Amino acid sequence: SQTIHQWPATLVQPVGSPLSLECTVEGTSNPNLYWYRQAAGRGLQLLFYSVGIGQISSEVPQNLSASRPQDRQFILSSKKLLLSDSGFYLCAWSRDSGLRGYTFGSGTRLTVV
């Protein structure tokens, strides 16, 4: 069966510090991978998606970047965090174009102080 791992679960970082969140998927190959941010009362905002190694599409210009160094690994990064980067970050995967939905990780609660 397929599983998705996302860590850390919670993170408190000072303004201006770097960020690296990691997500890995097991039990499938060539998944589509996604990074979302969820703000209270505002739903899920797609940040990046990837259809293959090294292929990243950005949906929202911002202080963050993503990379996919391996087929089942997706990394969200920032060189210098802003207060506005605080939020709940979710990684997800899907087969093909995700017509039957996505499978989400358990999320990372990031607080920038």
Partner 1 sequence: QKEVEQDPGPLSVPEGAIVSLNCTYSNSAFQYFMWYRQYSRKGPELLMYTYSSGNKEDGRFTAQVDKSSKYISLFIRDSQPSDSATYLCAMTIGGSARQLTFGSGTQLTVLP
Binding site for partner 1 (CB under 8 A): 6, 32, 41-44, 46, 49, 51, 57, 59, 90, 92, 97-107, 109
- Identify which of residues 17 and 57 has a Cβ nearer to partner 1 in the complex: 57
Nearest-angstrom CA–CA distance, 61 and 98: 23
Q: How far is the CB of 19 from partner 1 (least distance, A)?
A: 19
- Preceding amide of 8 cis, omega within 30: yes
Closest CA to 3 of 105, 111, 110, 109: 105
CB nearer to partner 1: give 15 or 60.
Answer: 60
CB of 62 to partner 1, least distance (A): 17
15 or 53: CB nearest partner 1: 53
Closest residue by Cα to residue 25 from 44, 6, 52, 12: 6
Quick one: 106 or 111, whose CB is closer to partner 1?
106
Which has the closest alpha carbon to 111: 78, 79, 90, 88? 88
